[in-house]
Amino acid sequence: MTETLHFNAGFRDRLLDRDPFLLAVWYPAQANETPVRHMGVASMAARNAPVAANGPFPLVVFSHGSEGHRFNQFWLAEYLARRGFVVVAPQHAGDNYLDMADARTLPLMVRRPAEISRALDVVLAHDDIGPAIDHDHIYALGHSAGGATVLELAGWQFDVSAWCAYCERHGDQDPIICDAAPDADAVARHVAATGGPVIMAHDDRISAVVALAPALGVAATVAGFADVTVPMLFIEADTDEILPDAVNAARFRHLLQGRARFVKIKGAGHYSFLPPCTPFIAQHHGHLCRDFGKDRKQIHKSVEQIVTSFLMRVRSGEIQGR
């Protein structure tokens, strides 16, 4: 059966003249879609079109993975916009493809959720986009380090001391997580500034989260999730070649038994949640093109359906938090 869509995907980049950071927005529109390119990948959207008048619409805020960019999940953003969601995606300062200075560091894990909250402030106050948003249905979605970011926004207290303890034991085997792990002085500065070894970044506007192949499960504890009450969906790669399953997806799954939904995408790798590869990407960044037995477009199709179903059921009240 062919799905009937009531909207096209509107698209605006750099929403304000002076954004606090680069900010892309997708939204329901009635204007015709035309060809657009996101970091060289061809797609369709109605650039700078008016927002559809059928709102208010639920909002999804995206947090990209480490060293990524605001277009990393544009394929999912367009899909959601055509189904009545506003989607906003900031580009994280110091942790993007042009500027990796702070990637996977302690200051970045403090700053990332703050940037997402700031992006919400910007969009909710925007003259055109803001009035179209349903303030009671604001969700957050993130990939990899972005998955950890949205869990922080949901109320997860990220335990810096647990991160450090893990890296003291396994740093040589897990360079992705441990090469930039804080040293004792950095932890001491964090404790002095915040009063404890955890990062607290809860934004109570967030009413559900989706984590795609989330990173930094090594910083998760039972106590850290004690105050998380919103619905949570975890989407795992069947073969995550970047993040060891036992201390990331499987650790979240162990800690959150019965409190979150977990779906594993067969044939997917860690980077399968990025856009389709172009010849240029394949030639210069081949590791980003690795999938593990399933076509990336089919992986995306599965994710689109799983995420949309979850968010629709949250909005209807069928899925509720703790």
Asked if residue 19 has pLDDT above 70, the reply is: no
Q: Does the pLDDT at position 115 exceed 60?
A: yes
pLDDT for the residue 322: 84
What does pTM read for this prediction? 0.95
For residue 178, count other CB atoms closer than 10 A to its CB.
Answer: 19
Strands 206-212, 232-237: pairing is parallel
Q: Write down the pLDDT at residue 20.
A: 63
What confidence tens digit (pLDDT) does each residue in 36-70 have? 998 889 999 999 999 999 989 999 999 999 999 99
Contact between 75 and 43 (Cβ < 8 Å): yes
**Distance between CA atoms of 235 and 73, rounded to whole angstroms?**
14
Question: Tens of pLDDT along 167-177?
Answer: 999 989 999 99
**Average confidence (pLDDT) over 117-131:** 94
- How much is the average pLDDT of 58-86? 97
**8-22, 120-134, 292-306: which range is least confident on average?**
8-22
Distances (CA, A) of 69 to 20, 85, 222, 321: 15, 20, 31, 30
Of 308, 232, 274, residue with least CA distance to 58 = 308
Give me the DSSP letters along 37-58.
EETTEEEEEEETPPPPTT--EE
Q: What percent of the chain has pLDDT over 70?
A: 98
Beta strands across the sheet bearing 206-212:
34-38, 41-47, 8-13, 23-29, 86-90, 57-63, 133-143, 206-212, 232-237, 261-265
Q: Domains in the chain, please, with CATH?
A: 8-316 (3.40.50.1820)
Segment 179-184 shows an average pLDDT of 90
Instruction: Report the pLDDT value the prediction gives residue 17, as an integer from 0 to 100.
Output: 61
Specify the pLDDT at position 255. Answer: 95
Long-range (24+ apart) CB contacts under 8 A made by 32-35 are 32/8, 33/8, 33/9
Q: Is the pLDDT of residue 16 over 90?
A: no
Confidence of residue 11 (pLDDT cuts 50, 70, 90): very high
CA dihedral 30, 35, 40, 42 (to 10 degrees): 90
Question: Element (H or E) spanning 189, and its range?
Answer: helix 184-194
Q: What angle do CA 82, 119, 78 make, to 5 degrees?
A: 15
d(CA 189, CA 254): 31
Binning pLDDT at 50, 70 and 90, where does residue 296 land? very high
Q: Dump pLDDT digits (tens) for 214-252.
A: 999 999 999 999 999 999 999 999 999 999 999 999 999
Average pLDDT, the chain: 94
